[in-house]
Structure 1
Amino acid sequence: MPSFTSRCALALAATLAGLASAAAAEIKADDAQLARLAVCADSWYEWNQQEPQRMRGFAQAFQARFTQVPKEPAFDPKAPLTVLGLPVLQAFPGSVGMGLGFSLSVRAGFAEARQAMEQQLGRAMQCERSEGAMACELKLGEKKTAMLIAPLQGDSRQPTLLGCYYFYQP
């Protein structure tokens, strides 16, 4: 497993464990744009490099739908939404642990989130236990890796982090 998993799994597991107490809310239809970002079909990193107008449009739409958690890289949805059929708890549009990318914390256990990701990706992810978490990755290109991380302890409904990272930041 790449160094990203071993360096970030512990921090992400702790973050996800803290989100487990978030309140349940009415769920709306799936958000296709966020799903495409989470499975590496679209990349805000590439938009920023090649399509700045598209990036600005995404940033405006994102800010209209999410509120940044004070002093945190996390954003809470202003209204309930789902991605890949999973309720979104928080979005992390700039990082995935120490990787640059886009990720979402979803109200789903590891097995449910993995099944949703693999179904959308059309391929199986490689998974391993690492520092208190189950971590999965699927390299999709030179700078695109789909990932999924969930704490090992607790019930199957603990939050899971899923998304796409573009590259690891040392």
Structure 2
Amino acid sequence: MKELKLFDQPVRVNDEGMICLTDMWQIAKLRAESGDDKFLGGRDINSIRPSQFARLDSTKLFINELAKCDLNTHLKTVRGKHGGTFGSRYVAYEFAGHIDPAFKVGVYTVVDKFLSGEMVTMASYMAEANMADHIYHEEASVVSDAARTMHYWGVGGRKRHLTVKRQEAYEKLQVKIPGLPQ
């Protein structure tokens, strides 16, 4: 089962591409409980449950019209712990509009991006950016270490110190024979 994010909350999408209306309702419930007085137009959140929506004559007529163009299932209820009411893309849009017009706009935007593959594209761009960022930081760390070492070597005097020590060692190695010019 796939998942999409709607208002930063997960919404399940089954293997047939049907969107979980129950998850959408739960998100609307969270929004209603957050105190947005204009949301839902004063209606009780429980009056817009997916089961209530499925019983409406307007919903039944809409699904009948969809069935004329597309023989796939458009509304399905799955029982059990991970169940819920699932609807096709158009039923999900209709349900979102049933909840609230502003909610419908958000659903249209997210579901269209998800089904068109645009979200996958954005996710792959994000992964690419994250990888480039990781490589940048790794290489910057190595270069920074190298720069510190070079600074210590040149400006820090280590090179001069080692050159003097080397010269002193060479001078000690020179054999001095009395009477011969050096």
TM-score (norm 2): 0.26
TM-score (norm 1): 0.27
Higher normalized strand content (fraction of residues): 1
Q: Pick the structure with greater CA Rg.
A: 2
Higher normalized helix content (fraction of residues): 2
